[in-house]
Structure formats: structure tokens, C-alpha cells
Amino acid sequence: MARTTSPGRLTCAGLGKRFGDHAAVTDLNLDLAAGQFLCLLGPSGCGKSTLLRLIAGFETPSSGTIRLDGRDITAEPPHRRPVNMMFQSYALFPHMSVAANIAYGLNRLGRAARGERVDELLRLVRLDGFGARRPDTLSGGQRQRVALARALARSPQVLLLDEPLGALDRALREETQGELRGLQRRLGTSFIVVTHDPAEAMALADRIGVMDRGRLVQIGDAATLYERPANRFVAGLLGDVNLIEGRVLARDAAGIATVETPCGPLLAAGQVEGACVIALRPERLTVSEDPGQASSSLTGQVLDTTYLGDRVRTQVRLADGRLWRVSAPAGSKTMPAGTDVHLSYRPEAAWSMPA
Amino acid sequence: MRALDRAALILGLGFLYAPILMLAVYSFNASALVTVWGGFSTRWYGVLLADGPLLDAARVSFLVALCAAAIATILGTLAALALDRSGFFAGRRAFTGLVYAPLVMPEVITGLSLLLLFVGLGLDRGILTIVIAHATLGLGFVAVIVGARLRGLDRSLEDAASDLGAGPARVFATVTLPLIAPSLAAGFLLAFTLSLDDLVIASFVSGPGATTLPMRLYSQVRLGVNPEINAASTLLVAAVTAIVLTASWLTGRNDPV
Amino acid sequence: MKRFLPVLPFLWLGAFVLLPVVITLKISLSAPATAQPPYLPVLDWSAGLEGWGSFLEALDFTNFETLAQDALYRDAALSSLTLAAIATAILALIGTPIAHAMARAPARMQPILLALVIVPFWTSFLIRIYAWIAILKPEGLLSAALMKLGLIARPLEILNTQGAVLIGLTYAYLPFMVLPLYAVLAKLDPRLTEAAADLGAGPVRAFWSVTLPLARPGLAAGALLCFVPMVGEFIIPDLLGGSDTLMLGRVLWSEFFSNRDWPLASAVAILVLVLVLGPLLFFREADRDGREASR
């Protein structure tokens, strides 16, 4: 149904952007294969929106280059780039109808072809018959779809979406996530979505790029980021995590390191040498009263237990006083506060990162 | 595009300021000829300070402006409150039109029609009639400025005050008034400036013995360019600039409230 | 007291805005021969309906006949409207780039630029026009400068022409055009022009198709604030125009102050009012449409 675009390979090399003293984006390298769905994830002010605006051409980089299929587009003004953007506020032209908004980028097309393309796009976003309406008569979800159709009209090689679902309520957001994903698969266009919501990033993207203070700290699929985070920031961003500092003492043939920690030696996967931090997701820990056969365990005391519906969360105070959280499926055996317990895990589930 | 923006600003502001700056520069010209620079001198300011009729006119203007601005501020604020608080009432549009009318009405019409009214009422023309005319003109400006401030006011602040037991009068005095005070001051200053500046309306409604500064200046300006007028203009422009800067500082202040 | 206070400003406005206009209308309909008040007919309030009847009978349209027949007034009306329209067009052309540049200036610069435009707006009108006499007169600064540059051989004969009046109108009313335009443009979401650029529109198309249509309420307000007072302008044609520059404000002034013909002056005032009422209503509609479109 929809016209297929020729997706482009986007390459950012050494990209930097300064606003006065503030470095919004620093030495950023990104290689997005054609047809990929990338999410840029990070807290507000991390530079993800600036990166999007650099790719769209609204900002001129202070350093570095942006290439599309090998062609340097760094100096190209936004209106010449085969890249389109869906704005967070949608930026629909209030003085134009829905159809005129969608047709805005199609002025090179003949009248008939333009009309056809607009109808095709309206069908694509399931807004047939809304062409004559004004944007201010539409609901938030409808406006979002008009903005999407308008940005897709020129069949961009890369579509940039700035918090595309930010203004929608939760139920609509989940529904729209699926639609966006399906649309991207059908069209084969490269999508770059900026979001601050890790769940949304995981639900949408092939790859997630985590940004922190202007730098791209890690890029990979959701599982890699979750299981093998590059640092504490990534580990904490993607979900609840227990952390403990230590020093790598030795590493066995399978790559499992023995780490000296304030709570005794622990086993963990990873490639770090020397000082490190071990990350352990709460659901990878098991609480029990007896030490069991686990090769790696810690001891502590139950502080409290909280029933959360689908799971049970236990807070445990470790020997050195720190609090760790353990998450177990609902129905697991709960222990009263004050119980001395052992926390055990499979060594591959623990991940050592640079301190 | 950025270069075009800069060019537009430089040319636009240059156009606005060049004539005023020229007046100021030539007010310090020792020569009596306008285009001949005869060296720096404050001689014309001396002439100005010795010009009795001009100083009398300045006193009249100042008195008129003070009274007119005070009346305009009170009535303009009341008008703004009435339009902002009354919701929709019959004739609201007509009232709004009445408030805005003096802002756009050509001055000759305002002047002539007020004169005809004063003659019809048998009112002696003089300072009082000029004050009434200028207060009417200033009222609209005050209402616009205060109205803008009222629209930007967080109404929950007043609700909070009445929720805490304040009656309407106390709410107004302790919450509303302090919050709109800067716009009241700005409105007063602008009404004052308008009055100080008006030639046309004052010419119509004044009578013998009530010559305002612009009227006096006009009678001299008609005779041609005159360095004493340059000096008077420079002083007036400096005074007005100070007033406007104060007013814009007052309206700009506390805006995030 | 509480009920009376809100009514007070409207009583004032009724007495000093509405009533004077009604009286002007009435006097414009009295016989031109009576050059001194009281002007006939006098409405005898005590006579009730009967008084109204005789009042209406005695109304005299001679003044308006004079206005219609005498070429002086027709020319004055025509040239007032023409000059005001040309000046408004010039103002729109030069005011838009200035307001646009202000709105796109860095945020910390904008209050300064705004103050710079407001200061002349409040600075004495008379003085600002007076300054142009010194610039435009044959032995004035403009001629001297142009002759020094070798651009002209003889002094410019521009003072006391319609050209000088146009320069004066443009100069005096520039802030009235720039301020409402700036108010609208500054509130415009910069994302809208970015979206236009993103969709392939160059700066010119983005400006024409997005910025300008959305700035329409500001343009309408600016045009209104300039055109209406300009039609009745007195100081500028009087000081900068020649004896042949007829504008209604000036005609009204001379009818009143020189010829002492108050009824005819009133008729001219009513004519000005009627002439500006049309554009006033037209701009109001345009303004409302614009507001609705940009909502």
C-alpha cells in the first residue's frame, strides 16, 4: 500500500555541539544501518533532542560530520535533507487543513499526484475523511497521526521522531507503540525516536542508544543494555539494579571473575580488570534461609517484604549495611523481617562494569 | 537570513533614532544655523531656562499630566477590572469599544468633539478641560495595560485568599492590587507621557491662560527650525525616555508570578 | 458604592467619548450661517416628543452638501485616504522584516530591542516630526549629505511635498506597526517554521506560507493602529506638507481655527469618522478571522 522509501545509512562521526559554555553533544559517533529502528534514550538535557535537531539540520554542529549513504550532509540546510522530523509538539500548521498540512512537503508534485498521495497517507494513518478538518478540531491522538503522515509524505530516508508518544495518555501510547513499530516494518524507513521512557524504548526499537551528558554511552539491543550495561548509569536507567563496588582478583577460563567486595568475594561475568562495580538485577537473586549449593552468595537480614501483585519484593540488609532488593514471582515463600538469609545467583547473571 | 535580520534591525532602529539623535547633537551647536556646526556649546539651554513663557507652559503641562494620569489610572483600572471580572454582560462589546475608541480615534475628532461638549455644557475652557480630555485619552491606555496584567493573573491566588477567610475587599487590597500594581504604575506613567505629548487635543480644548508645552513648542516650530527648540526637545526626549524605561522595567518585573 | 464603582469609568466614557461624538454629529447638521454657539437647532428636552419633531425638521444638511460639492473637501478626503493607505503599505513592508528580526533575536536581546522600539513611540510626536524639518529642508542635513556624496547637484525640494508627508507618516507610525506584529511573531512557535523547512520549504516559502499567514492578526492590528489615526493626521501634513497637501485633519483644523466655521468643521469630523469606520470594522473582522485561524 504505502510507497516504499529507499532507506539510508546514517553516519555521525565525531559530532559535537556547544551552546556557549554548555556542551550539548560531545564527540558522538553513530552508525545507523538502513531500515533500522533506533531509540535515543536518556534523561532530559542529555543531548538527545539536540542530536535529533543536528541530524534534521536545525542546528549546525560545532564539530564532526553527518553522512547519509556516504554523502556529507553536514552543511545542507534542513529543507534540502532527505530526512524528516515529527515534532514533539507536532508543529501542525494551525492555519491549514489536515490535507494541506500533509501536502505541504509535496509541492513539487502535480495537483492530482499530490491529492492521491495525501489520500494514501491519510489511509496509512487511518484518518480517511479527515482531510478538510483543521488541526485544532482533532484529538491528541489524531493530531499525532497527522504529524506522522506529514513527516512521511516526502518518503524520507530517515524519519526523526521527537518524543512521538509523549503527549498521549497511557492506553493510547501502548496502542500507538505497536502501530509505529508495524509502520516502520512495512515502510522500511530508518526511524530514530527520542524518548526518556526506557519501557517505550524497549518496546519500539531494534537498537537503543543511551545518552548521558551529551555522550552516547552505549548502543545495542534492549537485552544487551539490560543484561550487559556499559556503566552504572545505563544499568540504573534500564531498570532497578543492585550495585556493589569491588576489585577483580582473578578470572577463570569461562570469563567469570572473582571480585573482592565489602561483602566478601563474589563471582561475576565481564571483561573489566581492577576496580569495578557489580550489577545484579533484583529478579536474578534468590532468597533462602539455607546457603544451598549456589557457587555465589551473600548473607543478609530481611528488612521487609512488599506484595506488588505480580511479584514480591524483599529488602535485604547486607553485611556491610547496604540495602538490596530481591524480586520474586508472586506466591514465592516470604520471610518475616529479621530473618537471616542467603542471597544466591548464577555467576553469569552478575555483570561487572568499570567503576 | 541572519544577516538580513541584522540589516533590518540596524536600518529600522537607525531610521527611528537618527532624527532624535540629530536633534540632541544640534542642541549643543554654538551656531544658530541648523546645518552649520559651530562648536560645542550649552548656550541654547541657557536661552531655554530664561524663556519665561516656555517654562510657564512646561509647568501647566506638568500639572495637567499629573492630574490627568491620576484620573486615568483610577478609571482605567476600574474599567479593566469591570471588563475582566464581569464575564459576559449585555453591551460588553460596546463597553470594550468605548474603552478602545480613544486609542484609535483621530485626535482632531477627539479634540473637536470634546470642545463642542464643553461649549455646550458652558464649561470654561482651561486647565480643567485639558485634564478631562487627557484623562479620557489615558483611560483607554491604562485599561489595556492593566487588562493584560489581569488576564495573566492566576485566579487561584484570589480563590486561595477567600478560602482563607478574606472578604472581597480584603482579597482585592491584599492580593489583587499588589499583583497588578506594576501595571498600574506603568499605566500612570504612560498616561502622563501621553498628556505631556499631546498638541492637537489640547489646542482644541484649552482656553486663554492655559498653554501647554506642546502648544508653545508648536507655535515656535511653525516659524522654522530653532536651536532653542532643539534644546527643549532634547530635554523632553530625555525625560520621556527615563519615564518609558521606568515603565517597561515596572511591567517587565515580577512577570513570572 | 460597590455597584457604582465599576460603572464609573463607563459613565465617564459615555460623557466624554460618546456624548461629544453625538453633539458633533448634531452640530454638523446645523446651519452653517450660525458661526457662534448655540447652534441651531437646539433640542428642547422639555418639549418632549414635539421637541424632537421640530428638532428633526430643522436639521440642515448644507454642510454635507458643501463637503460633497466643494472639490477641496473631496480632494482632501481622497488624498487623506490615499496617503494613509500608501503609508500603511510602506509600513507593512518595512515593519514586517523589523518585527520578524526582533522575534528571532536571542531571547536576552528581545526586551532591549522592544524598549528601543517603544521609546520613540512615546517620545513627543511633535518633536519627532519637527526633527524631519531640519533633515528635509533644502538647506537641511539630507540635501547637504547627498550633495557632499555627489549624488545630487542641487538641494532637494522635498520638504512641503507629499513625499515629505509620507516620510513623516512612515517615521511616526513605525512603532505602531512593529509592536503588534512583534507581539504575534514572538509568540509563534519556532517549530512551525522548522517544520516547514523540514518539509522542503526554503526560507522564502516558509515565510510566505507559514510565518506571514500566522502573523496576519498582528498585521491587521498594526494596519488598523496606523491607518485610522493617519487619516485624521494634522501635525504631519501641517509641518511637512506643502500648501497643496490636503488632508482632512488639516482641513478640519483650518475650518475650526482659521475660518471659525464650527458646523463645517464638525461635518469634516463626521466625514473622517465615517471614512475610518469602514476600515475599522473590516480590520476587526480580519483580526477575528486571523485569531480563529491561529487558535
pLDDT tens profile C104-128: 999 888 888 988 888 887 788 888 9
- State which H helix or E strand residue A104 sits in: none
User: How close A84 gets to chain C, by Cα (Å)?
Assistant: 6
**CB-based contacts of A220: which residues, under 8 Å, 6+ apart?**
A207, A208, A228
The dotted CATH code for A240-354 is 2.40.50.140
A109 grid coordinates: 508534485
Chain C from 187 to 206: CB within 8 A of any A CB: 189, 191-192, 194-202, 205-206
Contact (CB, 8 A) for A312 and A306 = yes
Model-level ipTM above the cut of 0.95 = no
- The verdict on a CB contact (< 8 Å) between C209 and A104 is yes
Q: Tens digit of pLDDT for each residue in C49-81? A: 666 666 666 677 888 888 888 888 888 999 999
Query: Which residues in chain A have their CB less than 8 angstroms from residue C202's CB?
Result: 77, 79
- If you search the block for the grid coordinates 469618522, which residue do you land on? C273
Give the pLDDT of residue C35.
47
Every domain of chain A and the residues it spans? 10-232, 240-354
User: Among candidates C253, C248, C87, which has minimal Cα distance to C162?
Assistant: C87
- Touching subunits of B (3+ CB pairs, under 8 Å) are C
Which residue of B6, B9, B118, B130 is the best one to mutate when testing the C interface, meaning the one whose CB has the most C CBs within 10 A? B9
Which residue of B83, B109, B188, B237 is the best one to mutate when testing the C interface, meaning the one whose CB has the most C CBs within 10 A? B109
Length of chain B: 257
Question: Judging by DSSP bridges, how do beta strands A351-354 and A275-280 pair with one another?
Answer: antiparallel
- The verdict on a CB contact (< 8 Å) between C127 and B117 is no
Cα A343 off chain centre by: 31
- The verdict on a CB contact (< 8 Å) between C178 and B218 is no
Give the pLDDT of residue C294.
45
Give the residues across from A305 on adjacent strands: A314
Contact (CB, 8 A) for A46 and A106 = no
C176 compared with B100, residue with greater pLDDT? C176
In the DSSP assignment, the letter for residue A66 is: E
CA distances from C143 to B25, C132, C138 (A): 18, 12, 6
- The verdict on a CB contact (< 8 Å) between A154 and C209 is no
A20 touches chain C (CB under 8 A): no
Query: Which residues in chain A have their CB less than 8 angstroms from residue C199's CB?
Result: 79, 84, 104-105, 150-151, 153-154
pLDDT category of residue B3 using cuts at 50, 70 and 90 = confident
Q: Give me the amino acid identity at B143.
A: A
User: How close A131 gets to chain C, by Cα (Å)?
Assistant: 16
Measured distance CA(B218)–CA(B203) in Å, rounded: 10
Burial class of residue A235 in the structure, from the number of CB atoms within 10 Å of its CB (0-12 exposed, 13-18 middle, 19+ buried) = buried
Contact (CB, 8 A) for B58 and B233 = no
| Helix pair B227-252, B177-197: axis angle to 10 deg | 170
Query: Which residues in chain B have their CB less than 8 angstroms from residue C248's CB?
Result: 108
Q: Stretch B137-166: mean pLDDT, rounded? A: 87
pLDDT surpassing 60 at residue A300: yes
What percentage of chain C's residues is helix, strand, coil (to nearest 5)?
A: 75, 0, 25
Please report the DSSP string for chain B in residue order.
-HHHHHHHHHHHHHHHHHHHHHHHHHTTBSSSSSSS---B--HHHHHHHT-HHHHHHHHHHHHHHHHHHHHHHHHHHHHHHHHHHS-S-TTHHHHHHHHHHHHHS-HHHHHHHHHHHHHHHTPPPSHHHHHHHHHHHHHHHHHHHHHHHHHTS-HHHHHHHHHTT--HHHHIIIIIHHHHHHHHHHHHHHHHHHHHH--HHHHHH--TT---HHHHHHHHHTT---HHHHHHHHHHHHHHHHHHHHHHHHHHTTTT-
- The verdict on a CB contact (< 8 Å) between A153 and C199 is yes
Query: Which of A93, A105, A136 comes nearest C200 by C-beta?
Result: A105
B29 compared with B87, residue with greater pLDDT? B29
Q: Which strands make up the sheet holding A10-19, listed edge to edge? A: A22-32, A10-19, A63-68, A71-72
Q: Tens digit of pLDDT for each residue in B103-125? A: 888 889 999 999 999 988 888 88
Helix (H) and strand (E) counts in chain C: 16, 0
User: How close C115 gets to chain A, by Cα (Å)?
Assistant: 26
Burial class of residue B155 in the structure, from the number of CB atoms within 10 Å of its CB (0-12 exposed, 13-18 middle, 19+ buried) = exposed
Give the pLDDT of residue A2.
40
- The verdict on a CB contact (< 8 Å) between C200 and A95 is no
pLDDT surpassing 80 at residue C4: no
Q: Stretch B9-24: mean pLDDT, rounded? A: 91
A254 grid coordinates: 569461562
| Helix pair A140-152, A111-124: axis angle to 10 deg | 130
Residues of chain C with CATH 1.10.3720.10: 72-294
- The verdict on a CB contact (< 8 Å) between A91 and C192 is yes
Query: Which residues in chain C have their CB less than 8 angstroms from residue A151's CB?
Result: 198-199
Give the pLDDT of residue B255.
45
Give the residues across from A244 on adjacent strands: A278
Measured distance CA(B232)–CA(B238) in Å, rounded: 10
pLDDT surpassing 50 at residue B257: no
- The verdict on a CB contact (< 8 Å) between A95 and C293 is yes
- The verdict on a CB contact (< 8 Å) between A87 and C294 is no
- ∠ at Cα A87 (A83, A90), nearest 5°? 130
C293 touches chain A (CB under 8 A): yes
User: Among candidates A297, A336, A352, which has minimal Cα distance to A319?
Assistant: A297
User: Among candidates A44, A19, A61, which has minimal Cα distance to A212?
Assistant: A44
Query: Which of B101, B119, B200 comes nearest C17 by C-beta?
Result: B101
Q: Which strands make up the sheet holding A286-288, listed edge to edge? A: A286-288, A340-344, A297-307, A311-318, A323-329
A51 compared with B88, residue with greater pLDDT? A51
Contact (CB, 8 A) for C195 and A87 = yes
- Touching subunits of C (3+ CB pairs, under 8 Å) are A, B
Measured distance CA(A174)–CA(A159) in Å, rounded: 20
Q: Tens digit of pLDDT for each residue in B174-198? A: 888 988 998 998 899 889 988 998 9
Cα C34 off chain centre by: 31
Give the residues across from A278 on adjacent strands: A244, A352
Query: Which residues in chain B have their CB less than 8 angstroms from residue C251's CB?
Result: none
pLDDT category of residue C134 using cuts at 50, 70 and 90 = confident
C165 grid coordinates: 508627508
What Rg value do the Cα atoms of chain B yield, rounded?
A: 22
pLDDT surpassing 60 at residue C42: no
CA distances from C6 to A49, B61, B87, B96, C3 (A): 51, 29, 13, 13, 7
Q: Stretch A320-339: mean pLDDT, rounded? A: 88
User: Among candidates B118, B122, B130, which has minimal Cα distance to B210?
Assistant: B130
A42 grid coordinates: 536518556
CA distances from B4 to C97, C104, C187, C201 (A): 8, 11, 21, 18
**CB-based contacts of A48: which residues, under 8 Å, 6+ apart?**
A40, A41, A42, A194, A211
C111 touches chain A (CB under 8 A): no
pLDDT surpassing 90 at residue C224: no
pLDDT category of residue B34 using cuts at 50, 70 and 90 = low
Give the pLDDT of residue B154.
84
Question: Judging by DSSP bridges, how do beta strands A158-162 and A190-195 pair with one another?
Answer: parallel
CA distances from A223 to A182, A203, B97, B174 (A): 21, 12, 66, 59
What Rg value do the Cα atoms of chain A yield, rounded?
A: 25
CB atoms within 10 A of CB B13: 16
Query: Which residues in chain B have their CB less than 8 angstroms from residue C20's CB?
Result: 110, 113-114, 116-117
Average pLDDT of the residues of chain C: 84
CATH for the C72-294 domain, from 3.40.50.740, 1.10.3720.10, 3.30.460.10, 2.70.70.10: 1.10.3720.10
Query: Which residues in chain B have their CB less than 8 angstroms from residue C269's CB?
Result: 108-109, 112-113
- If you search the block for the grid coordinates 469630523, which residue do you land on? C269
What Rg value do the Cα atoms of chain C yield, rounded?
A: 24
Percent of chain A with pLDDT over 70: 97
CATH for the A10-232 domain, from 3.40.50.300, 3.40.309.10, 3.20.20.10, 2.170.150.70: 3.40.50.300
Residue of B nearest to C9 (CA): B75
- What SS3 state is found at A249? strand
